[in-house]
Amino acid sequence: MADAASNGKSGKVVIRNIGLLLSGDIDKPIFDADTIVAHDGVISFVGREVDADTDQPDLLIDARQTCVAPGLIDSHVHPVFGDWTPRQNQLGWIESTLNGGVTTMVSAGEVHLPGRPKDIVGLKALAITAQRAFDNFRPGGVKVLAGAPIIERGMVESDFRELAEAGVSLLGEVGLGSVKAGNEAAQMVKWARAHGIQSTIHTGGPSIPGSGLIDKDVVLEADADIIGHINGGHTALPEKDVCELCEKSGRAIEIVHNGNEKVAIAAAQAALQLKCPHRVILGTDGPAGSGVQPLGILRMIALLSSLANIPAELVLCFATGNTARIRGLNCGLIEAGRAADFVFMDRAQHTAGKTLLESVQLGDIPGIGMVMIDGIVRCGRSRNTPPATAIPVVVGAH
């Protein structure tokens, strides 16, 4: 095999002997392929080994007939700085979540910073600092899209222009600050959208001091890009209101771990009945009062598959391709040109399911055998999931 590139990139990576390839594409969730080739962290080939250029790889992985899926995306996290959360005074929560198959996280606001500034100059400074810091620092290799300001009264369009020009591309949850009225939120959401900044709105009862009830009428009037934790974070709106949001709004339907599980199931089923499953995305809404959830996305996949009776391969798309497309991310789908972010999974040892997908539909989370980000192995057998029945092996590397 050839020498690996000396510039810190992964070089040529070949993954062969894949038993099940989950594409992340909800229109075709299972890909008829057994081989992936990537160059310098970007997928270049997906298909059958007989058609692939597998010569002289820098890294060769035998998947040993296990499942390969896109790295999971957590659409709703609350980072602060580094791999530490003051909310639970816990170190290493992002790297631990990597062991749950998550390779990308999207901030819904750095709200847990002690003394978080709420003046306009301060909130902009915090957002720009968080965006810069996580752009430069990736705990465990995880990609954290941070710098999501909590909007406050008094902001004007030039503030959003300034944020966008500085590299900020997200708004924190609308409703966690002083802007809670639908008409005020709608104006700021429009300003943000005009400058390429994506917005998320808090949905449901208050979660932290300073937040408040955001009901369905406010959500509809504000018209943010993401209906954040539609199942509440923690307290959900009435189920009929949640279903009405799914029907009357065309925006993304975000379902989170730290919310009402009964309403999560209702929201997912409503999306399927309305024939818009591509709008559903998953998050944890952590760290939060309920703690850190390293396996939160896997648990949501198992919950929705088993109790909402949705095929496991479709639910996995909620946490990968759906989120990537809605968030405009170059990951989450296994196709040429996308980031080489993969999670290798197999059914957990001693699960009642005879296959990985069957085990998830029975409510068991899978075992993770390896996680790759940008073509680089970031962890082997997960220390957090149950042991996988089979795990991939590195056949050779330089």
**Closest Cα partner for 367 from 392, 341, 389?**
389
230 and 98 fall within a common domain: yes
CA distances from 170 to 94, 133, 187 (A): 19, 15, 16
pLDDT of residue 4: 40
pLDDT of residue 274: 97
Span 302-330, average pLDDT: 98
259 and 368 fall within a common domain: no
249 and 162 fall within a common domain: yes
Does residue 242 fall inside a structural domain? yes
Reply yes or no on whether the pLDDT at 7 is more than 60: no
Question: Distance between CA atoms of 174 and 184, rounded to whole angstroms?
Answer: 10
Question: Distance between CA atoms of 44 and 21, rounded to whole angstroms?
Answer: 16
pLDDT tens for 192-202 read 999 999 999 99
276 and 156 fall within a common domain: yes
Does residue 175 fall inside a structural domain? yes
**How large a percentage of the chain has pLDDT more than 70?**
96
Per the structure, the count of domains in the chain is 2
Reply yes or no on whether the pLDDT at 5 is more than 60: no
**Closest Cα partner for 339 from 71, 46, 140, 99?**
71
pLDDT of residue 207: 73
**Joined tokens for residue 338:** 């996308």
158 and 207 fall within a common domain: yes
151 and 178 fall within a common domain: yes
Does residue 79 fall inside a structural domain? yes
CA count, 13 A, side-chain hemisphere, 318: 35
108 and 64 fall within a common domain: no
88 and 127 fall within a common domain: yes
Q: Which domain holds residue 231?
A: 72-294
205 and 76 fall within a common domain: yes
CA distances from 369 to 61, 67, 76, 358, 374 (A): 12, 10, 25, 18, 17
pLDDT tens for 8-26 read 578 999 999 999 999 999 9
Domain end position, chosen among 266, 294, 322: 294
58 and 83 fall within a common domain: no
Reply yes or no on whether the pLDDT at 270 is more than 90: yes
**Closest Cα partner for 291 from 10, 56, 54, 85?**
85
Span 261-265, average pLDDT: 98
Confidence of residue 209 (pLDDT cuts 50, 70, 90): low
pLDDT of residue 398: 64
What DSSP element (H or E) covers 379? strand 376-379
pLDDT tens for 340-368 read 999 999 999 999 999 999 999 999 999 99
Reply yes or no on whether the pLDDT at 114 is more than 60: yes
Confidence of residue 210 (pLDDT cuts 50, 70, 90): low
Does residue 228 fall inside a structural domain? yes
Span 93-98, average pLDDT: 98
pLDDT of residue 250: 97
pLDDT tens for 279-297 read 999 999 999 988 899 999 9
227 and 348 fall within a common domain: no
19 and 148 fall within a common domain: no
pLDDT of residue 6: 39
Span 205-225, average pLDDT: 88
Question: Greatest CA span in the chain, whole angstroms?
Answer: 62
Q: Is the bond leading into 287 cis (omega within 30 degrees of zero)?
A: yes
Q: First CA to last CA across the chain, in angstroms?
A: 7
Confidence of residue 96 (pLDDT cuts 50, 70, 90): very high
pLDDT of residue 220: 98
Rounded to 5°, the CA angle 338-393-4 comes to 60
